[in-house]
A and B are shown apart, each in its own frame.
Chain A
Amino acid sequence: MDAYVLQMEGITKAFPGVKALDNVSLSVKKGEIHALCGENGAGKSTLMKILSGVYPAGSFDGNIMIEGKEVSFRNIRESQEAGIAIIYQELALVPEMTVGENIFLSNDLMKKKILNWNNLYAEARKWLDQIGLDIDPQRKLGELTVGKQQLIEIVKALTKHAEILILDEPTAALTESEVAVLMEILQDLKANGVTCIYISHKLNEVMRLADSVTVLRDGRTIDTLSVSDITEDTIVSKMVGRSLTDYFPYEEHEVGDEILRVKNYSFHHKTTGEKMADNVSFMLRKGEILGVSGLMGAGRSELFISLFGGYPGKKSGEVKIDGKSADIKKPSDAISAGLAYVSEDRKRYGLILGMEITKNATLAGLQKVMPRGLIDASLELKEAENITHKLNLKTHSLEAEVEQLSGGNQQKVVLSKWLFTNPKILILDEPTRGIDVGAKSEIYKIINELSQQGVGIIMISSELPEVLGMSDRILVMSDGTISGELPREEATQERVMKLATKGRENHASTISG
């Protein structure tokens, strides 16, 4: 039983400015299901990219041994040849091709000069049968549900004679019944001697499925445990057990009257019609900083984009701003109601990269620099200068294109744009993602100042210390619902994590119970 099929030792990987992995070790026994847990950014994906050759040998330090033999992969192909297959969250399949074509996409069967289609589909049938999938291999892949597509990915991996199967958040997009099928298949594979590394945020699944679990935190291995000896709580405490070393300048400030109330809010996916948020209710006060925590895929960003009028799907429920009910159909409605939304993806949703700083800064409040119905360029420059100066934006010219700025300064331009509209409610989605420490603390300072001026602030963040350090109150989301609410005094990393990792079933039982 002690034969390790995979040993990674002393893995250290640095990106410019960040040490993503620091002396990480991972040992996986043959034929087990080994879970890999950790917060967002703990280094799980980086570690798996090293194992699968995405980051080639030489770009990191440390050894990888497969069945006791040291290996060094220069690319993905070499890791595949060694029996490693990785299934990413985003599927690497071609929707327009048939199931059979997808299964053998990078296989020799597809590389012959003349394809023998009958043979290919017969082979595909055989593999599908082997894991008990009743899918016609000649169907177009795009017609299958996401869950089924995920299973096709697994079949594809098996055809490459994968001995180590890595699944990165495989159940994020699956329904309950699909999860059950997946688990059954994984158990079968295990019985056939396939080793599986299972990355998941959903601890209930980990407890149900895995034999052992390795916890990563901040790029280090914290512990490897046998699942039979522990409870979910053990994992949670290992995942978050760090002290608040970062500096969060929380300042006592007055919290005023209610400014926003959302009642029984639900909305649907624009194409599939699936419910993205279910009966969400919460409120926000003047000058309050409301943290919103939850794991990736919990539906936080989508919820607030929808509230802001930027999501096209159907929606229902009640939104009240300053006690008056607000009907927000499009972002311009939200802006005139006093809302501002700083997106998590500033390059995609926040900035016009090829436009000057000045023009980006005034874009959402252009009417303010149009005194006689025409843009007054001097006034515009003046206003842009004022607002960016307040945010301590560093640039040699406000006429420079935003593209040329660093991440932190770009974020300040986005903030400028929204502060220029004088919002009553400011929604910040991952406001410090991808920016350096100095700019971070400046942004925290700005948030504090705004709350002192009475702006209600909603701060969505995946960084727990940030949420705990800055918020007056914390909402935790899981699977499109609010799974809990904690006041500042009661909030701990463990409690937030526990609420965030509630699976769907657990959640259902807390509601009914």
Chain B
Amino acid sequence: MRQQSADEPAEKKSGLSFKFNMQSYALVVALIMIVLIFGMLTGGEFLSSRNLSNLFAQMTVIAVLAIGMTLVIVAGHIDLSVGSLAGLTGGIAAILQVWFGWDTVWSVMAAIVVGALLGLWQGWWVAYRAVPAFIVTLGGMLIFRGILIGISQGQTVAPLNDGFRAIANSHLPYWAGYVLAVVGVVLLFFSAWRNQNKREQLGLMIEYPVKIYGKLLVYAILILLLTYMLNRYNGIPVPLLIVIFFGGLFIFISSKSSFGRYIYAIGGNEEAAALSGINIKRNTLSVFVLMGALAGAAGVILTSRLNAASVSAGEMYELDAIAACVIGGTSLMGGRGNIVGAIIGALIMTSIDNGMSMMNIETFWQSIVKGLILIVAVWIDISSKKQTSAA
């Protein structure tokens, strides 16, 4: 039935975009519900400025990993090594600084470069040697953890310089936070206005201004409200800015560059993509390099947050990152997924950890609840798709 309806020209073009957005709204609704439930159960404590600040700092590592993981999964692969890789790169940064006295900038750079190189190595096996990513990265998971234990000689490496510690533990001054928020809001409106103008020039359909600017107004209020809440405590946490930076960068890459478009095409249908002139191998390789670099960044944040590198750092993070992507609507079949969803997914996962530990519920329940949410999220996704195609 759906097939026929798509063929018939409808009077309005807005019908489909509304339906399309329903899925992303569902995610936001889920997030709001989780926040409200924890807010009530903790007597408002969950929504306090202090806790929000903690929450955002907590989600950073998973969110950064989930951003890269979205690309990997969209391209039709998986990366099980990111937890170990974040542990290893974070460990390398700590060792360089604590044992060899490197300054913060160079240690951070080293971690990211090592991450990218190890990503290159894994990507080469996947793209040019056709070994399934599941296997290559499962191997990587063991190898990287092994290297970490070897080079750190099983010790916890600490403490780090103040500069390194500041990466994940500092906050923006209040004024800077407000300036940033206002600049962000203005940019949002400006780009929407420019886009409308452009579409008008090209003679394309334009959405109702009320709808567009109304939506932006809601975003603007949320941004300012959040800034206000965070400023009531210590200000906007720097790690949140890091997530926003990487999120923005990768949203840009995935929507504006040919590389971004190509990985969606490759994940959607590799054979058709190849016959359309897309270089499958090189693009696949690049995805893993980027994932590796992001794992390096995540490793730095992790080490900075804990002010130490330990041999077990980042364990199981790969699964949290994959779960965040999947909750955010990324399909494990490849070809579908978006970065905003993955970040919201990471926020949902972290909220559950955070909220439940605030309620003094034993930690084993966190795993159980997260596991159930993962299954239910995918089930909702699948059944909503079935319904629309059967309707």
Contacts and interface: CB of A to CB of B under 8 A. Distances in A.
Counting chain B CB atoms within 10 Å of each CB, which of A310, A351, A366 scores highest?
Answer: A366
A363 B258 CA distance: 9
Interface in B178-213: 195, 198-199, 202-204
Counting chain B CB atoms within 10 Å of each CB, which of A331, A364, A367, A378 scores highest?
Answer: A378
Interface stretch (B49-57, B267-275, B341-349): B267-275
Interface string B234-268: 00000000000000000000011110011011001
Given A374-B257, A378-B198, A396 B10 contact: yes
Contact of B276 (A348, A374, A377, A417): A417
A247 interface: no
A359 interface: yes
Given A352-B269, A397-B16, A399-B17, A378 B276 contact: no
B363 interface: no
A133 interface: no
A395 interface: yes
A330 B279 contact: yes
B13 A396 contact: yes
Contact of B7 (A350, A399, A406): A406
A396 B15 contact: yes
Interface string A343-379: 1000011111111000100011011001000110111
A364 B6 contact: no
Contact of B258 (A305, A354, A366, A405): A366
A400 interface: yes
B87 interface: no
A335 interface: yes
A354 B335 contact: yes
A406 B272 CA distance: 18
Interface string B258-300: 1001101100110111111111000000000000000000000
B16 A379 contact: no
Contacts of A305: 275
B264 A396 contact: no
B272 A351 contact: yes
B386 interface: no
Contacts of A332: 277-279
Interface in A259-314: 305, 308, 310
Interface residues of A, number: 43
Contacts of B278: 332, 363
Contact of A400 (B6, B195, B256, B261): B6
A395 B17 CA distance: 14
B336 A406 contact: no
Contacts of B6: 395-396, 400, 404-405
B20 interface: yes
B202 to A, nearest CB: 4
A406 B204 contact: no
B8 A343 contact: no
B16 A399 contact: yes
A343 B264 CA distance: 20
Contacts of B360: none
Contacts of B2: 404
B202 A379 contact: yes
A378 B15 contact: no
B383 interface: no
Given A367-B258, A395-B6, A400-B6, A352 B268 contact: yes
Interface string B140-180: 00000000000000000000000000000000000000000
Contacts of A343: 275
A400 B16 contact: yes
A97 B365 CA distance: 46
Given A308-B275, A310-B274, A375-B256, A355 B3 contact: no
Nearest to A332: B277
Contacts of A409: 7
B3 A405 contact: yes
Nearest to B331: A354
Contacts of A331: 274-277
Given A355-B335, A375-B256, A366 B261 contact: yes
B78 to A, nearest CB: 18
Contacts of B275: 305, 308, 310, 331, 341, 343, 349-350
A406 B269 CA distance: 19
B16 A352 contact: no
Nearest to A334: B277
B10 A397 contact: yes
A370 B255 CA distance: 12
Contacts of A370: 258
B74 to A, nearest CB: 11
Interface string B327-361: 00000000110000000000000000000000000
Contacts of B279: 330, 332
A335 B277 contact: yes
Nearest to B9: A396
Nearest to B264: A355
B335 A352 contact: yes
Contacts of A335: 276-277
Contacts of B336: 354
A126 interface: no
A192 to B, nearest CB: 46
A406 B198 CA distance: 32
A385 interface: yes
A382 interface: yes
B8 to A, nearest CB: 6
B268 A353 contact: yes
B194 to A, nearest CB: 10
B261 A378 contact: no
Contacts of A395: 6-7, 9
Contacts of A385: 204
A54 interface: no
A379 B202 CA distance: 8
A49 interface: no
A381 interface: yes
Interface string B95-110: 0000000000000000
Contacts of B204: 378, 381-382, 385
A364 B264 contact: no
Nearest 9 A/B pairs, CB to CB: A404-B6, A396-B10, A332-B277, A352-B268, A364-B276, A374-B256, A335-B277, A382-B202, A331-B277
12 contacts: A330-B279, A331-B274, A331-B276, A331-B277, A352-B272, A375-B255, A375-B258, A378-B202, A381-B204, A382-B202, A396-B10, A406-B3
Given A352-B272, A364-B277, A396-B16, 15 more contacts: A310-B274, A331-B277, A348-B272, A350-B272, A352-B268, A352-B269, A354-B268, A355-B268, A363-B276, A363-B278, A377-B255, A381-B199, A382-B204, A405-B3, A409-B7
